[in-house]
Amino acid sequence: WGSLGHITIAYIASNLVQESTTAYFQELLHNDTEHYLAGVATWADSIRYTRWGRFSKNFHFIDAKDDPPAYCGVDFVRDCKADGCVVSALQNYTSQLLDAELWPWRRNQAAKFVVHFVGDIHQPLHVENVAQGGNGIHVNWEGQEFNLHHVWDSSIAEKMLGGNRRKVYDNAFRWATDLTDEIKSGKYQTESAAWLDGMLLDDPIGTSMIWANESNAYICSHVFPDGPAAIAGQELAGEYFERAAPVIELQVAKAGYRLAAWLDLIVGRMS
Ligand code: DCM
Ligand code: DCM
Ligand code: DCM
Ligand code: ZN
Ligand code: ZN
């Protein structure tokens, strides 16, 4: 996701966590405001192109070697690179958060990575190998050329929300408030409890593979419904946008809800 998606997911999580979780992460992240998660949500993207942060560049995605639209699916052993992927990164940084003996700066960094990667695994194109998660596919968006990955990371959500694109934190806060209401008492109220099915703190790989497979299924149904070749050069801000927008809304809501529950489990274990 772009900044808007990551910050929205963080605000949803901070709306839903238990009080003890707020206190715990406010202390770990040295931020006692309501922005303690939102303020670190894009940190992992800010370091991935730096020399010291390069070790983390593959942690943002897993390249599912499937064959959309005929077959979708992720396989941890087949698809996670030797130097890591979003699934192994979630396991690694969750275990660092659970290790009270680690240096505080390591656990601080682990918190920032977990907040970010729970977001990324819910972006369907972060769970797909074709054209490096769609980065190599040129499409049109309101008449301008973009790559498909960027359209799913940012353009669709920005069009949905409207408003001034420069006010990312304001827009994210507003979107998070709406989605939190939909989760608590609106269109997601009934289904949201099932979003935690299969979630086990002792099996971070199994848990995040459930999230990854769910995300990747949208590659066949909504990202490449007619296959990757058919989408190149198409204008996506019309009917394609109308079909994709509800998927993005749902994936952002789920990511925030699951992040809250995951952080609650971590704090529950530590206390
Ligand atoms: N690490 C870090 N900052 C660095 C280098 C590494 O936070 N500049 C973290 C990432 C891994 C852990 O330390 O979780 C071990 O990394 P490595 O094996 O690459 O040293
Ligand atoms: N920190 C970190 N990685 C960095 C810089 C800082 O993990 N590259 C940690 C150290 C502190 C926390 O973030 O625990 C706050 O750092 P600062 O006081 O620099 O904001
Ligand atoms: N990305 C991805 N899958 C890949 C490669 C990259 O999902 N196989 C993501 C990470 C960034 C974006 O695409 O969000 C751009 O990555 P890069 O700048 O590394 O091309
Ligand atoms: Zn992306
Ligand atoms: Zn990322």
pLDDT in tens, 195-233: 999 999 999 999 999 999 999 999 999 999 999 999 999
Task: Give the three-state DSSP class for 227.
Answer: coil
Question: What is the SS3 string spanning 155-207?
Answer: HHHHHHHCCCCCCHHHHHHHHHHHHHHHHHHCCCCCCHHHHHCCCCCCCHHHH
Amino acid at 15: N
pTM (2 d.p.) = 0.90
pLDDT at position 165 is 83
Establish whether residue 103 lines the binding site of ligand 1, counting it when its CB lies within 6 angstroms of any ligand atom.
Answer: no
pLDDT band per the 50, 70, 90 thresholds, residue 123: very high
Q: 108 alpha carbon to ligand 2 midpoint, in Å?
A: 7
pLDDT at 60 over 90: yes
Using an 8 Å Cβ cutoff, are 223 and 124 in contact? yes
Angle of CA points 83, 86, 89, to nearest 5°: 65
CA dihedral (211, 212, 217, 219) in degrees, to 10, reads 130
Which residue's alpha carbon is nearest to atom 15 within ligand 3? Answer: 135
Using an 8 Å Cβ cutoff, are 271 and 25 in contact? no
Amino acid at 1: W
How far apart CA 58 and CA 62 sit, in angstroms, is 8
Active site residues: 1, 6, 45, 48, 60, 116, 120, 126, 149, 153
What angle separates helix 86-97 from helix 104-120, to the nearest 10 degrees? 140
Using an 8 Å Cβ cutoff, are 13 and 22 in contact? no
Q: 203 alpha carbon to ligand 1 midpoint, in Å?
A: 22
φ, ψ (nearest 5 deg) of residue 175 = -65, -40
Prediction ipTM score: 0.77
pLDDT at 14 over 90: yes
pLDDT at position 231 is 98
Q: 149 alpha carbon to ligand 4 midpoint, in Å?
A: 6
pLDDT band per the 50, 70, 90 thresholds, residue 41: very high
pLDDT at position 164 is 83
* Over residues 104-123, mean pLDDT: 98
Establish whether residue 63 lines the binding site of ligand 3, counting it when its CB lies within 6 angstroms of any ligand atom.
Answer: yes
Distance of alpha carbon 101 from the chain centroid: 28
